[in-house]
Structure 1
Amino acid sequence: MQRRDVLLDGVLLTVLVAAAALGGVLTALVVKDQPLPPYAWVVVALQLLTSAVVLVRRRRPTAVAVTIVGSAMAQTLVAFAAPLDVGEALLSVSAWVPVALSVAVENVTERGVPRARSTLVWVLIGVLTLVSVRPWAPTTSFVVNGLLHSAVAPLVALYLAARRRKLQLLQERADRAEREQWWLAEQARADERARLATELHDLVAHRVTLMTLRAGAMSVNAPDDDTRAAAEELRSNGALALDELRELVGVLRRGGRTTEAPLDEPAVPPLAELVDEAGRAGQAVEFVEVGERSQVSRVTGRTAYRVVREALTNARKHASGAAVRVDAEYRPDQIRIVVRNGAGSPAPGANGSGTGLAGLRERVESIGGTLLVGPDGEGGFRLETVMPARVSADRGPP
């Protein structure tokens, strides 16, 4: 048994013993007979002895219920054998029988007692009620005290047990309805994501594909090297945009879960090439890489690529001309990236909506990583992220 059950049984035993002792004292006060009448001693002794059965009520619910009802029957017969004033006192002041009968009813209604055994207990309670009203010589006092003594407490206990079961059923229904509502909302969101993914693909993918093909044709037919290089860069950026668009559409259709990149894509996006590209665009960037990149999964590598790209873009927009340092540290189980930029002036037309960083944080946290951004205390800005090195396609970080 649990500690709580043991404590509850101990409290119940104490209550029954106290009720037995209090009944004896009140009987003595009512009949004004000292010492206590022998009939009262017999009743108190029966109550004290029977109280001990509550300690096994969880293991033997039917036996405990039958014992309690049998003891109550014996006490009632003792009260009828006593003088009239003593019998009325024993029935009217004893709280032990109602409390004990409530325990018996709780046993047969809450302990999974078979129907046949519970019927036996209720038949015995019915017989006790019939005997308690003394039908062979009824009086108002004995009928009222007999009903209060035998029938009222079991009926109240039965009502409370039924009410408790009804409340549990209502709670279960409410929980089930809440789960169903949540599932319907999730299904509606999934349908909306799929619809958005389809519209996004139809609206953007076709036009970007045409731009990429046109740029490829220009790079082949370009009259000079500069034009060929510009066309090739445009084609490369368009191809990368298509890859990212396809991945975004896939994420929307999968309900926001990331997955592995196709097998023909590089395992880790080239951070060094991203930094070199920023340098060719006129941005002063220092790149420091420590550790082995091959331990990084594709999902983590692509997320790291987006972190650095967003950080470099923000530095160009909000700290134009400031030097930037990118530190990438590859650990056995983590990858840590820190991007710092010095103080600079915002570029013309730059805005600070913060949606880029918000989306980046969601992406990092979706694979079990953390993202910290804010001023570095020296007038510049600092972005730091720590992500698990290995991320499964469906299960998230290991």
Structure 2
Amino acid sequence: MKSNESEYDCLLHGIYATLERPAAWKDFCALLREAIGAASIQLSAFDRQRELFSWADGFSVLETEPLEFIPTLYRDDARLEWLRACAPGKWLYCCSDAGNSRGQAVFEPCVLAGAGRFVSLCKLIDSGTLTAMIACRRHHGDGPLPEAGRALLERLTPHLIRAMRLSLHRLLPDADALARQARPPAMLVSALGEVLHSNEPAQRLLRATSLVRVRSKRIALAAPFQTRFLEDVAISEARLKNHVNGARAAAARVRALRIVSTVDRAADPEDGHPTHDNDADATLPAAPEVLYAFYNVVTPGEASAADLRAMAALTFYHPRSAPAVDEQVLATAFDLSPAECRIVHMLVDGFTAKEIAARVNVQYDTVRKQLQSIYLKTATRRQPDLLRLMMNLPARGRPGAAG
């Protein structure tokens, strides 16, 4: 490897460029990798309150080094106690293979060091809320990092720490922004089912229905929806990590779960709605309790999704909760045609089916058939149910959903 003052100045500029442009961390990692002859450079931030990686960036990070294994090790593995106790700013030079350590300390968990390779680790920040670290890995055949490389890392360390501290607000997920503390009940849930955040309407919802519960800090939906929900989030996470084409767009798509109580209940007189209207079947029996869960998959911060834990941003609709939303979400969640969306919006505006037929210049039977299609797609059975559902869909443009 080679190092000189111009190279150092370039690296220094790269560090402070991240304050204005967070994506510049990848550029810095590429420069550092070249300067010290590393196989890969990895920066990561671990949110200790929520026990998940909230940010990561790097260069040439191999798919054989998945970050999802590290949180479990960080919490539970006794071999990492020495890493937890190590002071920030101190570099550790380790090897994953005792037989080829070449005098280096042996750091056993291969998930960090990589099989048969050398790694240089440094904690940049370690507080009650966040641990940020950098890892520089070298291939087995390249040997340990030479003294010149270590000297360069030591020289850059104070600047890395300063830049990390100035960027602290970007390294922790903004749970309120992701879960959107709006009127609809909302939760932020990890791929393992851990409830990372819930707003006040969600707390009220938990007291109003047994169709969703939080037990030991984990979401509990009525069967079989719990398994279906967690499997879907896990699949989205795997696709994001593997950079599958279209994975970000698919993750951002709003899904809908219709969770129905197994016990029938009479219509709630507090709903303030009649049990039928002119366009619905007046002989329908009392409907069971229903809870709609809308969710899409998000990743916190601005880092590469392939290196992060995925989370589900959930909003709920329940007969005892209510507010309004967006036509495109209605179309996306339920696959309504433009004509069907138009009918729903006219119903919200107070027009009857006959008035809608006259306004759009179609036969009344055509509107009735379109209404039946809408009921089928939205799993509703009458106009009051449909209208309340329409008024409680989640808003478009969730933070973190754009890809």
Higher Cα radius of gyration: 1
What is the TM-score of this pair, normalised by structure 2?
0.22
Q: Per residue, is there more helix in 1 or in 2?
A: 1
Q: Per residue, is there more strand in 1 or in 2?
A: 2
Higher relative contact order (CA 8 A, sep 6+): 2
